[in-house]
Amino acid sequence: MATATYPGASGNTAKTEADKFIPEIWSDEIIAAYQKSLKMAPLVKRMSMSGKKGDKIHIPKPTRGDANAKAADTAVTIIANTESEIDVDIDRHFEYSRLIEDIVEVQALSSLRQFYTEDAGYALATRIDTDLINAATGWGDGTRTASPANTGANWVNSHSYYVNASSGLATYAADTVASGDNFTDLAFREAVKLMDDQNVPMDNRNLVIPPAARKSIMGIDRYVSSDFVTGKGVESGLIGNLYGVDVYVSSNCPVIEAAGQNSASSLDTRGCLFFHKDALVLAEQVSVRSQTQYKQEYLSTLYTADCLYGVEAYRPEAGFIICIAEE
C-alpha cells in the first residue's frame, strides 16, 4: 500500500520559523483568500454538488422557442421540446499542504500563517480560473482541451479571432498575429457585434484580458475619458466597463501561441476572453475545505486545503477568443 512521504527537517516549518498559528483561523483565512483570488469563477455559471455522490453531473440545456401567431378559433401551437444536456466530469482535484512543527504550543496570529493561508487560497483559485479559461477551447465548434498546447492549434475554432491592427477583427489561425496587433476600439466594437449576432443576452457579458491588453486600453483616449458613452470607462488605470461589458484583468489569460511557435511575430500571442456568463460552467463538489492532522512522529500538524470540481463549455455560442500580440 502506498504511503505518504513526509518531509524531514528541510521540508517542514519549525517553531522558530512558523512563529504563531491558530488552527481555527487557518480554514477561514484560506476560504477568504480563495474567494478573493477567484476571477473567472464568479463570472460563469456555477453549480454546487456539495454532499452529492457521483463523478459526473448532467446539466439540462434548454433551447429558446418562437412566439407563434394565433388565429381565431384555432388551437395554440405547441413548441416541440428539443432540450439537450451536457455532461460535466468532476475530475479536477487539487490540494495545497503544509507541515507545521509544534503547532499546539503556538497560539498567536503571525504574518507567516497569513502568508500560508493566502498562498493556499491563491493557488487553488488560480488552478480553477486556469481550468475555466482552458475550457474556452470548447467555444464555437472547438473541442475542450484541459491542457492546450501553446502552438495555437487548440484555440482554432469558429469563435476565435485576432486583432488586426489595420482592419479590426480577423479569423484566427496559427502564424497570423503580428507585432502591433494589440487591443483596439474597433476590434472590440466588432466583437460586441459578433456577440449580438449570436443573440446573446446583453447582461452578464464579461471581458477578461491579460495585462498587455490593459496597457493598450489605457492608451485609448475615449476609454479613459470621464465622458465615455457608457459611463466610467478606465480611471487611473482601473479597469471598468466598456460598452456595457465589465472588464477584468487576469495574468492567467492563456498564451495562445508562444513566440517561438509563431512565424509572424517574435512575441507571445495572448488570448482575451469575451463571453456571457452561460458560456462556461463550474460544477463544485468540494468548493474548498481545510483539514488538519497531527503527526506525532514529527511533532507537527499537517494542514491541507483542497477542492474538487469540473468545468465545461456550457453555451459555446456565447463566448469568443480575441488574440493579441503581447507587447
More confident residue, 19 or 90: 90
Quote the CA–CA distance of 266 and 325 in Å, as a whole number: 9
Lowest mean pLDDT among 47-51, 144-148, 251-255, 270-274: 47-51
* Residue range 211-251, pLDDT digits in tens: 989 888 888 877 766 544 444 444 433 477 888 898 898 98
Lowest mean pLDDT among 100-104, 140-144, 217-221, 311-315: 100-104
Is the predicted pLDDT of residue 57 greater than 90, yes or no? no
More confident residue, 224 or 180: 180
Q: For the purposes of burial, counting CB atoms within 10 Å of the CB of 316, is it exposed (0-12), middle (13-18) or buried (19 or more)?
A: buried
Quote the CA–CA distance of 48 and 207 in Å, as a whole number: 24
Quote the CA–CA distance of 137 and 158 in Å, as a whole number: 10
pTM of the model: 0.82
Quote the CA–CA distance of 136 and 146 in Å, as a whole number: 10
DSSP 83-111: -EEEEEE--EEEEEEEEEETGGG--S--H
DSSP H helix total and E strand total for the chain: 6, 14
Q: For the purposes of burial, counting CB atoms within 10 Å of the CB of 299, is it exposed (0-12), middle (13-18) or buried (19 or more)?
A: middle
* Residue range 277-312, pLDDT digits in tens: 999 999 999 888 888 888 888 888 888 999 999 999
Q: For the purposes of burial, counting CB atoms within 10 Å of the CB of 199, is it exposed (0-12), middle (13-18) or buried (19 or more)?
A: exposed
Region 261-273 average pLDDT:
92
Region 63-67 average pLDDT:
77
Quote the CA–CA distance of 28 and 25 in Å, as a whole number: 5
What amino acid occupies position 196? Answer: D
Q: Which helix (H) or strand (E) holds 319?
A: strand 319-325
